[in-house]
A and B are shown apart, each in its own frame.
Chain A
Amino acid sequence: MESQEHLDSIVDREYQHGFVTEIESDTIPPGLNEDTIRAISAKKNEPEFMLEWRLKAYRNWLKMIEPKWSNVKYPPIDLQEITYYSAPKTAGDAPKSLDEVDPLLLDTYNRLGIPLEEQKMLAGIAVDAVFDSVSVATTFKEKLSEYGVIFCSFSEAVKNHPDLVKKYLGTVVPYGDNYFAGLNSAVFSDGSFVYVPKGVRCPMELSSYFRINSSKTGQFERTLIIAEEGSYVSYLEGCTAPMRDENQLHAAVVELIAMDNAEIKYSTIQNWYPGDKNGKGGIYNFVTKRGKAAGKNSKISWTQVETGSAITWKYPSVILKGDNSIGEFYSVALTANHQQADTGTKMIHLGRNTKSTIISKGISAGKGQNTYRGLVRIGNKAEGARNYSQCDSLLMGDRCGAHTFPYIEVKNNNAKVEHEASTSRIGEDQLFFCKQRGLSEEEAISLIVNGFCKEIFNVLPMEFAVEAQKLLDISLEDSVG
Chain B
Amino acid sequence: MLKINNLKVSVGDQQILNGLDLKVNPGEVHAIMGPNGSGKSTLANVLAGRDNYTVTEGSVQYLGKDLLEMAPEVRSREGLFMAFQYPVEIPGVSNIYLLKSALNAKRKHQGLDELDAVDFLSLVKEKLDLVQMDRSFLNRPVNEGFSGGEKKRNEILQMAVLEPKLSILDETDSGLDIDALQIVTQGINTLKSETRSIILVTHYQRILDYITPDFVHVLADGKIVKSGDRSLAYEVDEKGYGWIKN
Residues of A within 8 A of B (CB): 2-3, 427-430, 432-441, 443, 447-448, 450-455
- Does B125 reach chain A (CB closer than 8 Å)? no
Known contacts A438-B105, A441-B73; 4 additional CB pairs below 8 A are A438-B76, A447-B93, A450-B92, A455-B92
- Does B158 reach chain A (CB closer than 8 Å)? yes
Residues of B within 8 A of A (CB): 48-51, 71-73, 75-77, 81-82, 84, 86-88, 90-93, 97-98, 101-103, 105-106, 109, 141, 158, 162
In the A-B complex, the 5 residue pairs with the smallest Cβ-Cβ separation, listed nearest first, are: A451-B92, A451-B93, A438-B105, A454-B92, A437-B102
Among A3, A432, A438, A452, point to the contact of B91 (Cβ < 8 A): A452
Known: A437-B102, A439-B105. A448 touches B93 (CB 8 A): yes
B103's closest neighbor in chain A, by CB? A438
A427 to B50, CA, bound (A): 13
Are A437 and B109 interface neighbours, CB within 8 A? Answer: no
B48's closest neighbor in chain A, by CB? A436
Contacts of A429 on B, CB cut-off 8 Å? 86, 88
Among B51, B76, B92, point to the contact of A437 (Cβ < 8 A): B76
A432, A438, A455: most-surrounded residue (chain B CB, <10 A): A438
A454 to B141, CA, bound (A): 11
B86, B101, B103, B162: most-surrounded residue (chain A CB, <10 A): B101
A432 to B92, CA, bound (A): 18
Among A435, A450, A451, point to the contact of B76 (Cβ < 8 A): A435
Are A433 and B73 interface neighbours, CB within 8 A? Answer: no
A433 to B158, CA, bound (A): 12
B78's closest neighbor in chain A, by CB? A438
Are B50 and A432 interface neighbours, CB within 8 A? Answer: yes
Are B101 and A439 interface neighbours, CB within 8 A? Answer: yes
Are B77 and A447 interface neighbours, CB within 8 A? Answer: no
Among A433, A447, A453, point to the contact of B101 (Cβ < 8 A): A447
Contacts of A438 on B, CB cut-off 8 Å? 73, 76-77, 102-103, 105-106, 109, 162
Are B90 and A428 interface neighbours, CB within 8 A? Answer: no
A428's closest neighbor in chain B, by CB? B51
B51, B75, B81: most-surrounded residue (chain A CB, <10 A): B51
A434 to B77, CA, bound (A): 12
A268 to B44, CA, bound (A): 47
Measured CB to CB, the closest approach of chain A to B171, in angstroms, equals 15
A427 to B90, CA, bound (A): 10
A443 to B109, CA, bound (A): 14
Among B51, B81, B93, B97, point to the contact of A432 (Cβ < 8 A): B51
B79's closest neighbor in chain A, by CB? A438
Contacts of B50 on A, CB cut-off 8 Å? 432
Measured CB to CB, the closest approach of chain A to B200, in angstroms, equals 17
Contacts of B75 on A, CB cut-off 8 Å? 436
A436 to B90, CA, bound (A): 14
Contacts of B73 on A, CB cut-off 8 Å? 435-436, 438-441
Contacts of B71 on A, CB cut-off 8 Å? 435
What are 13 A-B contacts defined by CB distance under 8 Å? A428-B51, A429-B88, A435-B49, A437-B76, A437-B102, A437-B105, A438-B76, A439-B102, A439-B105, A450-B92, A450-B93, A451-B92, A454-B92
Known: A447-B93, A448-B93, A454-B92. A436 touches B72 (CB 8 A): yes
A2 to B51, CA, bound (A): 10
Are A451 and B88 interface neighbours, CB within 8 A? Answer: no
